[in-house]
Amino acid sequence: MDPGHNGQNYRHTSEINRMVDAGGFRKACNTTGTAGKGLTEPEFTWLVSQALQSDLTALGASVVMTRTNNDGWGPCIDARGQVAATNHAAALVSIHADGADASAHGFHVIHPAPGPTVSAQVAASSTALATALRDALVAAGFATSTYAGRNGLIQRSDLGTLNRAATPAVIIELGNMRNAGDLADMTSPGSRQKMAAAIADATARWVAGTR
């Protein structure tokens, strides 16, 4: 489980701007993330990931978090992926929020393309996991993105966390923090719990189906 960014990244610009191996190319270690009125992306991802960890644990999963609080900086994108690889994780789920035009709304799930560090098998499994997560979030009442991907799914080759995971991996952009409707869901404890419950159930079912 990867809560995107970190609460103190903005205080560590030299560290997060350091270039790292993002899967056959170099990219900045991390970013500060985006924000909506009264809520930052690192805080949002931390809150959802805590609920998600609790839900997954209740379902019998063993959950490893890439960070254990929202008071530090990092880890870098390569290290986040390598947490999954080192722990031989069944899957990596990275929680994020987007910062797009205020008129754009909805969530999308990003899955990796085959490449130097992503096998065709891992890419195909990641697509299946992304689809399961998309379907669960739609069933929970959340709308797919109006501005990114197609039907809530998008494949990308430029994201180090996915490229370095060595296991099925996805990034979920749970909405646009600059859109009033999406931000209302993100600031609502009840909506965050619905997001977490849908993601936990879909992830647990998908992992069980691959065993």
**Using one digit for the tens of pLDDT, what is the confidence trace for 32-88?**
999 999 999 999 999 999 999 999 999 999 999 999 999 999 999 999 999 999 999
CATH code of the domain covering residue 82: 3.40.630.40
From the candidates 15, 41, 43, 173, give the one annotated as an active-site residue: 173
175 and 107 in contact (C-beta within 8 Å)?
Answer: yes
92 and 65 in contact (C-beta within 8 Å)?
Answer: no
Q: Does an H or E element contain 95, and which?
A: strand 92-98
> Of 76, 169, 66, nearest to 115 (Cα)?
169
User: How high is the pLDDT of residue 51?
Assistant: 98
User: How high is the pLDDT of residue 211?
Assistant: 73
Domain that holds residue 90: 2-210
Report how many domains make up the chain: 1
pLDDT tens for the 211 residues of the chain, in order: 999 999 999 999 999 999 999 999 999 999 999 999 999 999 999 999 999 999 999 999 999 999 999 999 999 999 999 999 999 999 999 999 999 999 999 999 999 999 999 999 999 999 999 999 999 999 999 999 999 999 999 999 999 999 999 999 999 999 999 999 999 999 999 999 999 999 999 999 999 998 7
DSSP string, 139-160: HTTPPBPSSSSBTTEEEES--H
Antiparallel, parallel or unpaired: β 169-176 and 92-98: parallel
Strands (E), 157-204: 169-176
Determine whether 173 is an active site residue.
Answer: yes
Alpha-carbon distances of 163 from 137, 166, 201, rounded to whole Å: 24, 7, 24
